[in-house]
Amino acid sequence: MTKGNVLIIGASGDIGSAIAKELEEAGFSLLLHYNTNAGSMTRLRAQLGEETILLELKADLQLEENVHTLLNKIDFPVDHIVFASGAADYGLFQDVSYRRMNEMMNLHVLAPWMITKSLLPAMIKKRTGNIIFITSIWGNIGASYEVLYSSVKGAQNSFVKALAKEVGPSGVRVNAVSPGFIETKMNNHLQADDRELLFSEIPLGKPGRPQDVANAVGFLLNEKSSYIHGEILNVDGGW
């Protein structure tokens, strides 16, 4: 018997895919969103049981109208939501275009707001459900040359803390997992020297794996974490 239906926003990424596989093993059914990474979705589909995937949703959430389209396509009940999508942005803040600002805000802030607003009433009615964000260490402490990314991840952290206070009495839990350096394609731009410098700053001396983040999400969807609410769970090796 399934433990419920989980909508994973950003299921085709390294972390999103690891989360999908972890949740299948835990007994959940999945609604999987992706944007351009069709190849990763094909590989993920082959690794998951056919009965696990209820729905696949392709949408570029940098555009507001696509969020409405995605929501209109969801014809299964959603018991839990995991927001694992994201896009990095590297460069000096003064060089950022207004268009890029809008894209990053839409993807990381507006789209999660809209999706949560649409699906939350059913959770409140059932007095159960989980909303989990994959944020970032930079949302906690900020990063030079990643000001835009740090800002939107910080907004996600604030949303988690505020919404948790609002919906806690209704039985819906809201939390976030905040990764440090995780070995994903998002970090492929780093040179070997830069990687070694980063690892020297991490007390555990090594990068995390997507599975480390997936393990944390699995824990937050487990009854063993039923009294954890409004938390930003750091998965960063002590960085």
Helix axes 111-126, 64-73, angle to 10 degrees: 30
Task: Name 89's Cβ contacts closer than 8 Å, sequence gap at least 6.
Answer: 96, 100, 104, 146, 148, 149
- How far is CA 205 from each of CA 15, 80, 198, 235, 239, rounded to the nearest angstrom? 20, 34, 9, 14, 9
Catalytic residue selected from 34, 98, 145, 149: 149
- Single out the residue of 145, 159, 177, 57 nearest to residue 110, CA to CA: 159
Active site residue 149: yes
What is the full DSSP assignment across 29-62?
EEEEEESS-HHHHHHHHHHS-TTTEEEEEE--TT
Cα–Cα distance measured from residue 237 to residue 102, given in angstroms and rounded to the nearest whole number: 32
- How far is CA 61 from each of CA 24, 50, 115, 159, rounded to the nearest angstrom? 25, 26, 10, 18
- Single out the residue of 101, 112, 110 nearest to residue 149, CA to CA: 101
The answer to whether the CB of 216 falls within 8 A of the CB of 233 is yes
Task: Name 52's Cβ contacts closer than 8 Å, sequence gap at least 6.
Answer: 24, 28, 29, 30
Active site residues: 149
